[in-house]
Structure 1
Amino acid sequence: MGTLGTVLVGLAILVGLAGIVVPVLPGSLLIWAAIGVWAFGTGSVTAWGVFAVCTAIYALTLVVQYLVPGKRLKEAGVPGRAMLAGGVVGIVGFFVIPFVGLFVGFVLGVYAWELNRLRIHDAAWKATKHAMRAAGLSILIELAGGVLSTTVWVVGVVVT
């Protein structure tokens, strides 16, 4: 792969990292796919080794990203349906309120679900805060995986 191709892959990886922090794009998937394109274009054993390591990082990140926050939510007594409600309302909010609608919709969806379930404002708000922390932790885990994959890729580019 030439210099231009490597730069374009690097830009796709940067967009993927941004997509993790501002969840509009499937950030980790974009990073993984860009590294796969680079490995295919480069074709060396080292490039494929980098891709294999990044695939393992991606898979591990996906597992940890759902297990760790999910366990904390379960311990706090926040049901998965509350998170689902937050996600659905967040997606609607994304289209209704530009830029911040996803976050506002998520919070409103979780809060409304929990208020309907618990019937107590303080308990619903406490559950909503747990859900926000879990979502933030999930983003941090995904970001760590993305940065680690990016680092492995940069080392691979330097080596090849």
Structure 2
Amino acid sequence: MSALGEVLVGLAIAVGLVGIIVQILPGNALVLGSVLVWAWVTGGTTAWVCFAVAALLIVVAETGQWLLAGRHMRRAEVPWSTLAVGGLAAVVGFFVVPVIGLFLFFTAAVLVMEYLRRRDGRAAWRATVAALQATAITIGIQLLGGLAATLTWVAGLFLT
């Protein structure tokens, strides 16, 4: 792959990593897709092994985030429907108040949904905090997986 191609792959990976944090873009899918393009164009055993390792790291991260965040939400007794409404509100909020609206609208929607469900302000707030913690767990684990895949790609750049 040419130097320009490698820079473009690196930029696509960076966009994917930002997507993990902002939670609007499919971050790890972009990271893995970028590594796949690099492996395809570069070719050879080393490139494909790097892709396989990156794919494994991302699969482990994605599985781990679902398991850990899900367990956290079950312990707090927050249903997935509340998170779904919060996620939809976050998308709307992202466009209403760029970037910051994502977090504000998610928090507000979860708080309102849990208040309507529980009819107790303190319990609703505890559930909202649990949802925010689960979101942080998700972002953290996804980011670790994406960064590990990125480091695998960087190692592949040096080895090929």
**TM-score category (smaller protein):** over 0.9
Q: Which residue of 1 aligns with 2:146?
A: 146
* Residue 43 in structure 1 maps to residue 43 in structure 2: yes
Please report the RMSD computed on the Cα atoms of aligned residues, expressed in angstroms. 0.9
Q: For the residues of structure 2 that align with 1:95 and 1:12, how far apart are their CA atoms?
A: 22
Q: CA deviation at 1:61?
A: 1.3
AA paired with 1:33? G
AA paired with 2:159? V
Q: For the residues of structure 2 that align with 1:109 and 1:46, how far apart are their CA atoms?
A: 47
Which portions of structure 1, spanning 4 or more consecutive aligned residues, are displaced by more than 6 angstroms? Answer: none
Q: CA deviation at 1:58?
A: 1.4
AA paired with 2:69? P
- Consecutive unaligned residues of structure 1, counting only runs of 5 or more, are none
TM-score normalised by length of structure 1: 0.96
Write the mapping of 1:22-37 to structure 2, written as runs, cut at 5 A: 22-37=22-37
Q: For the residues of structure 2 that align with 1:3 and 1:44, how far apart are their CA atoms?
A: 17
Q: Which residue of 2 aligns with 1:64?
A: 64
Q: Which residue of 2 aligns with 1:6?
A: 6
Q: CA deviation at 1:55?
A: 1.1
Q: For the residues of structure 2 that align with 1:152 and 1:54, how far apart are their CA atoms?
A: 6
Q: For the residues of structure 2 that align with 1:89 and 1:155, how far apart are their CA atoms?
A: 39
Q: CA deviation at 1:129?
A: 0.2
- Consecutive unaligned residues of structure 2, counting only runs of 5 or more, are none
Q: For the residues of structure 2 that align with 1:49 and 1:159, how far apart are their CA atoms?
A: 11
Q: For the residues of structure 1 that align with 2:149 and 2:102, how far apart are their CA atoms?
A: 26
AA paired with 1:27? G
| Alignment coverage as a number of residue pairs | 160
Q: For the residues of structure 2 that align with 1:91 and 1:34, how far apart are their CA atoms?
A: 25
